[in-house]
Amino acid sequence: MDLFCGAGGLTRGLLDAGIPVAAGYDVDEACRFPYEHNNRGAMFHKVSVADLTADALAAHYPKGHRRILVGCAPCQTFSKYTQGLDNDDDPKWTLLDHFARLVRELQPDIVSMENVPELQRHPIFDRFLATLADEGFHFTSEREKQLVYCPDYGIPQHRRRLVLIASRLGPVELIPPTHPGKKQRTVRQALAHLPQLCAGETCESDPLHRTSRLSPLNIKRIRRSQPGGTWRDWPEELVAACHRQRTGKTYSSVYGRMEWDKPSPTITTQFFGFGNGRFGHPEQHRAISLREGAILQSFPRRYQFAPKGSDYCFKTIGRLIGNAVPVRLGEIVGLTIRQHLGEPVTI
């Protein structure tokens, strides 16, 4: 079972690793099409985890099979981008507690939880670990071993995640990095083969390979932008007024281009906008496309996020892609679980 399943990144990865997934649960109806269309056999249920019962989950598991429960509670509440904000009234704070409740009630054999590294600093994470310990799960308590640098596992973006795997069957740890050091995948390896586009264009053969429009001013800005550079490289007349002020001069991680031969920046829900981060294409004068963002999240090239002929809303699809667990990371979790169960795996 995949809780907080989103568009299916974690489910797709588990399936690729050879682990059957029966169902995913989420409150976002926009997830239904990509989840079911791309993950044969897995059914989408629009139900809040806060309202979900162990009996409903148990009905999905065939008799005689190991019960695996995975999930990624919404992470914006815990993200470094919202630190210092008053989030106490955000209902998302309690969702990890509901995940823990379902672990107690369902009694699965294996649990995996993925989130942002900042979650480690919050009491709700300690409560989750305490639940696992009380229920007899084995897991690594070393905080550093709970953190994953995604390029080390073949994901072409500088993304760090908290990944916890717990088992009633014995000690378990994530498999060692598969792409350490110089083996890391780059933007060039991931994106160079895609058709070229201008800002505001859509690829005829792939409607998801579409780019947002740029204003005439931003066209001038991106033409003066260098891969790995910042807006500080621009002539004074192109610099935004907010960046000329003392408080804005420290915000250099916007209006930048990616570099061909390095992993990309972390893909956020706003990756399709040139001004929202270092999301400029390394050489084409545009932000990366929706398809390029999905590929950097390690979704398969043909993964569909909307039915053909529908409205490909940048905001909606950008949210689905940016919020997803990278597919390759889900596959690594799945391979770890299979290895833990004594099954032969190819890593």
For residues 287 and 271, give the distance between their C-alpha atoms in angstroms, rounded to a whole number.
8
For residues 203 and 209, give the distance between their C-alpha atoms in angstroms, rounded to a whole number.
6
List phi, psi (to 5°) of 114: -125, 140
Written as one letter, the residue type at 240 is A
For helices 9-16 and 327-340, angle between their N-to-C axes, nearest 10 degrees? 50
Look at residues 334, 344, 299 and name the one whose alpha carbon lies nearest to residue 17: 334
* Residue given tokens 């800005």 in the structure block: 221
Is 263 in contact with 297 (CB distance < 8 Å)? no
Look at residues 60, 70, 95 and name the one whose alpha carbon lies nearest to residue 5: 70
Catalytic residue of the set 31, 75, 203, 242? 75
Burial-class residue 241 by CB neighbours within 10 Å (0-12, 13-18, 19+).
exposed
For residues 223 and 200, give the distance between their C-alpha atoms in angstroms, rounded to a whole number.
16
CA angle 93, 95, 101 (to 5 degrees): 130
Q: Find the distance separating the first CA and the last CA of the chain, reported in whole Å.
A: 23
Confirm whether 31 is a catalytic residue. Answer: no
| Residue 137 CB contacts under 8 Å (≥ 6 apart), including other chains | 111, 166, 167, 168
Look at residues 8, 5, 53, 52 and name the one whose alpha carbon lies nearest to residue 26: 5
DSSP 289: P
For residues 310 and 174, give the distance between their C-alpha atoms in angstroms, rounded to a whole number.
39
DSSP 253: S
Look at residues 101, 110, 267, 248 and name the one whose alpha carbon lies nearest to residue 173: 110
User: What is the set of active-site residues?
Assistant: 75
